Amino acid sequence: MSITSELELIGMRKVSDAVAYTLKEMKKFAQVGMTTKEIDDFGGNILKDLGAHSAPFVTYKFPGFTCISVNNEFCHGIPSQKRILCEGDLINIDVSAELNGFWSDNGNSFVLGKDINNHQKLVDASKEILQKTISNIKGGVKIADIGSLMENEAKKRGYKVIKNLGGHGIGRSLHEEPDELLNYRNRHDQRRFKKNSVVAIETFISTTSSQAIELNDGWTMVGNKGGFMAQHEHTIVVTDGKPIILTEMNGVWN
């Protein structure tokens, strides 16, 4: 969407605060020995208390309030009573929701407890790349140039990007134009970021794979060549200068 009034900006701030707070609290709540279903139910109750509705459930009838992916699962992991979290797991929680007709999205990959599996370096790379990416987005900047920046920053650190996942426009629905805000340069993409537009910018930084493939459950995605992936995501408003980071409350960069 494009922000055309103060009321629209207020609406986007409220829903963004809701998803950001939910994500932050879910990360704090997660403990070794818990199931991903316990964490999802905890997040779902927060969204309900805030008057927000789970976006993946409303939009796609996803079997959970949030997406929780663990270790080799890249994204869209289904919360499960059978998935018990262990020390050093690489966890990704993605929270998106609707509130009063506005939609927002954010995500965070983190290591649970001690980094016994050496995932923290990948997590830190994803955070740093998201921060650098967002700081370079303003009205008039080519979308493909931002994709190029993300890929180059990943390569500098010895990582790959997932090329069939990307950020997206958001605001009045979960996915809007501009869609396919990819993590690499698409030389055919001549689009530019527009001032006042709302977009969800997300990294997909991988150790081994460059494509994500769907498992037989119809949701969970893993790497085509295995490995691990970290994702971090903020919903922002594009301006002529520094973007407005609507989901900053989630504490991803803390």
- Residue among 141, 254, 252, 137 nearest 199 (CA): 137
**248 annotated binding-site participant:** no
Percentage above 90 pLDDT, the chain: 99
Would you say residue 45 has pLDDT above 90?
Answer: yes
Per-residue model confidence as pLDDT tens digits over 69-98: 999 999 999 999 999 999 999 999 999 999
Is 17 marked as binding a ligand? no
Which pLDDT score is estimated for 207?
98
CATH of domain 6-250: 3.90.230.10
- Mean pLDDT for the chain? 97
How would you class 211 by CB atoms within 10 Å of its CB: exposed for 0-12, middle for 13-18, buried for 19 or more?
Answer: middle
Query: H helices within the chain, ranges in order?
Result: 6-29, 36-49, 55-60, 120-135, 143-156
Nearest 5°: the CA angle 158, 163, 167 is: 105
Say if CB 12 and CB 104 are below 8 A apart. yes
pLDDT digits (tens, 9 = 90+) for 13-26: 999 999 999 999 99
Would you state the structure tokens that stand for residue 237, as one six-digit string? Answer: 């408003």
Annotation-wise, does 175 bind a ligand?
Answer: yes
Pair of tokens at residue 133: 């990416």
Give the SS3 label for residue 181: strand
What is the average pLDDT across 6-18?
98
**Annotated binding residue 234:** no
Taking only the tens place, the pLDDT of each residue in 145-202 is: 999 999 999 999 999 999 999 999 999 999 999 999 999 999 999 999 999 999 999 9
Residue with tokens 């059978």: 82
Is residue 105 a known part of a binding site? Answer: yes
Q: What is the pTM of this model?
A: 0.97
Q: How confident is the model at residue 104 (pLDDT cuts 50, 70, 90)?
A: very high
pLDDT given for residue 153 in this prediction? 98
Q: How confident is the model at residue 237 (pLDDT cuts 50, 70, 90)?
A: very high
Q: What is the pLDDT of residues 53-63, one digit of tens each?
A: 999 999 999 99
Question: What pLDDT does 254 receive?
Answer: 85
- Of the candidates 26, 1, 40, which has an alpha carbon nearest to the alpha carbon of residue 246? 1
Distance CA 177, CA 185 (A): 18
pLDDT for the residue numbered 92: 98
Q: Does the annotation list 53 as a binding residue?
A: no
Is 124 marked as binding a ligand? no
| CA 129, chain centre distance (Å) | 13
